[in-house]
Amino acid sequence: MKKVRITQVKGTIHTQPKHRANIAALGLHGIGTSNEIELNPAIQGMINAVRFLIKVEEI
């Protein structure tokens, strides 16, 4: 499968609880943290929900 690097670029203050939960599920805990994840439909859905808080790069 394809891998992507996800980096959090904005904070989660004043966001909806489901957005905070998605950020945590993606393995991010603060601005500037990154995680490499294999892309599947579930992960793609989480990325789409919080696309305004993160930066995604293909590896």
Domain boundaries in the chain? 3-58
Give every CB contact of residue 55 below 8 A, 6+ residues apart in sequence: 6, 7, 9
Residue 45: how many other CB atoms lie within 10 Å: 10
Please identify, in words, the CATH class of the domain defined by 3-58.
alpha beta
Closest residue by Cα to residue 56 from 40, 41, 37, 42: 37
pLDDT of 54:
98
Q: Taking the C-alpha atoms of 16, 12, 47 and 3 in order, what is their torsion angle to the nearest 10 degrees? A: -150
pLDDT of residue 20: 97
pLDDT at 1: 83
**How many Å apart are CA 28 and CA 18, to the nearest integer?**
14
pLDDT digits (tens, 9 = 90+) for 18-52: 999 999 999 999 999 999 999 999 999 999 999 99
Res 58: pLDDT: 96
> What's the pLDDT score for residue 48?
97
What was the pLDDT predicted at 41?
96
Give the model's pLDDT for residue 31.
97
